[in-house]
Amino acid sequence: DAKTTQPNSMESNEEEPVHLPCNHSTISGTDYIHWYRQLPSQGPEYVIHGLTSNVNNRMASLAIAEDRKSSTLILHRATLRDAAVYYCILNYGGSQGNLIFGKGTKLSVKP
Amino acid sequence: DVKVTQSSRYLVKRTGEKVFLECVQDMDHENMFWYRQDPGLGLRLIYFSYDVKMKEKGDIPEGYSVSREKKERFSLILESASTNQTSMYLCASSESGTRQPQHFGDGTRLSIL
């Protein structure tokens, strides 16, 4: 299975943009890129997903490199509520479409 | 917005008890999942259901069973609770297919004494 690599942690200031990187150099042509996040003491939350083109939704933007070997989740204005662990995954990983998380990036947001 | 509701946020039970965890989703999703999440072990799939009365074992089904009598409700049953089943239990739902976003409840933190 294709693997992803993310930094262990990042810091941001409130109301500034945050760019969370993910490397997936062994991605195949049919692999979708998915992002989830998990706030403390809560269940995971779907953020965004895409295949080739950049994607935007009300939560975030996903920028996908032209060769698809990397992607960046963009939070346009970080809030304290965005402090969470962010997971970048390809095609969920499990044989039954179940999620398999790596270590993710722990994002801290400073007031 | 999709809402997945788990019946309890916190639950304390005793060894040997039969424990029921309930999950309800309001988006008419075909797929429903039960996971447990433990520090250092990530998410592990217990059971999966892709339709009413249909179920598939996940990676760690031992000691658990499930019931899906109605499309919106997926129940996880611990037949005889043991201390190694102390964990955070997460229910999720998604549309049919294996690439659809999964929507999670807030989880039930279960302690078995």
Question: What is the tens place of the pLDDT at every residue in A21-33?
Answer: 999 998 888 888 9
Please indicate whether, in this complex, the C-beta atoms of B101 and A32 are within 8 angstroms of each other: no
Flag if B92 and A42 touch (Cβ within 8 Å): no
Q: Is A31 on the interface with B (CB under 8 A)?
A: no
H or E element that contains B94: strand B87-94
pLDDT at A95: 67
Give B26-30's long-range contacts (Cβ < 8 A, gap of 24+): B26/B2, B26/B72, B27/B2, B27/B3, B27/B93, B27/B103, B28/B71, B28/B72, B29/B2, B29/B71, B29/B93, B29/B94, B29/B95, B29/B103, B30/B71, B30/B94, B30/B95, B30/B96
Report pLDDT digits (tens) over A33-76: 999 999 988 999 999 999 998 999 999 999 999 999 999 999 99
Cβ contact (<8 Å) for A46 and B101? yes
Interstrand relation of A9-13 and A105-110 (parallel, antiparallel or unpaired): parallel
What percentage of chain B carries pLDDT values higher than 90? 87
For residues A82 and A93, the answer to whether their CB atoms sit within 8 Å is no
Specify which of A31-35, B29-33, B98-102 reaches the highest per-range mean pLDDT.
B29-33
Q: Is B43 on the interface with A (CB under 8 A)?
A: yes
In Å, how far from its chain's centre is CA A30? Answer: 18
